[in-house]
Amino acid sequence: MPEIERHPLQPFLPANARLLMLGSFPPPRRRWCMDFFYPNRTNQMWEIFGIVFFGDSQRLVDAEHRTFRLSDIQTLLRERGIAIFDTATAVRRLSGNASDKDLEIVEKTDIAALLACLPLCHDIVCTGQKSFSVLTDDYGVPVPKMGACNEFILAGREMRLWRMPSSSRAYPMKLEEKAAYYRRLMQEVGILEHGQ
């Protein structure tokens, strides 16, 4: 039986956050290029954010050092009010890789406790099927169609659960198309003005 792996990062919870992004669990440490969420250099999340907020997929990429611009990413998230964590705090990797299908969730994140730190947050976005399974199992939220949301109540708060394309490079969608989904999300949540 693979050993239990505990989450290596603390939740990133700016007090002004209106959006909580939930992935599943970080990849194995050997795949990290920085100590933050979506740390795999081949993951496209920070390229998506570069397009959405700066019109430049490379704005948050440090190509020379084969990493991302962590300080710029954290500044952007704080300024825009975006919190990040994962839906599992402990897992077993059944095949030693980062694939969601090979993760066994041993301990789920207390999402209500995260929201208690985020008084302005009424929107959650999940970035993969494994992260959705926690919300659907624990709170009975149907999985929305891509780019859409479903409303639900969590800890007495009206919430919306959004479904976005995976930022994994293996997900079969062009980078610009993924960014278009995320841009619409940011507009609907009020993080970006419509037309930006």
Domain of 134: which CATH number? 3.40.470.10
Host domain of residue 171: 5-189
Which H or E run includes 82?
A: strand 82-86
Residue 196 falls inside a structural domain: no
20: left (phi over 0), alpha (psi -120 to 50) or beta: beta
Q: Using one digit for the tens of pLDDT, what is the confidence trace for 26-41?
A: 988 899 999 999 999 9
Q: State residue 89's pLDDT score.
A: 94
Distance CA 180, CA 103 (A): 29
**Backbone φ and ψ of 154, nearest 5°:** -135, 120
Q: Using one digit for the tens of pLDDT, what is the confidence trace for 84-141?
A: 999 999 999 887 666 777 788 999 999 999 999 999 999 999 987 778 888 888 888 8
Enter the pTM of the model: 0.94
Residue 19 falls inside a structural domain: yes
Look at the chain and report how many structural domains it folds into: 1
CA-atom Rg of the chain in angstroms = 16
Q: Where are the alpha helices (DSSP H) in 42-110?
A: 45-54, 70-80
Residue 61 falls inside a structural domain: yes
Residue 112 falls inside a structural domain: yes
Helix (H, G, I), strand (E, B) or coil at 31: helix
Which H or E run includes 152?
A: strand 149-154
Residue 194 falls inside a structural domain: no
Residue 119 falls inside a structural domain: yes
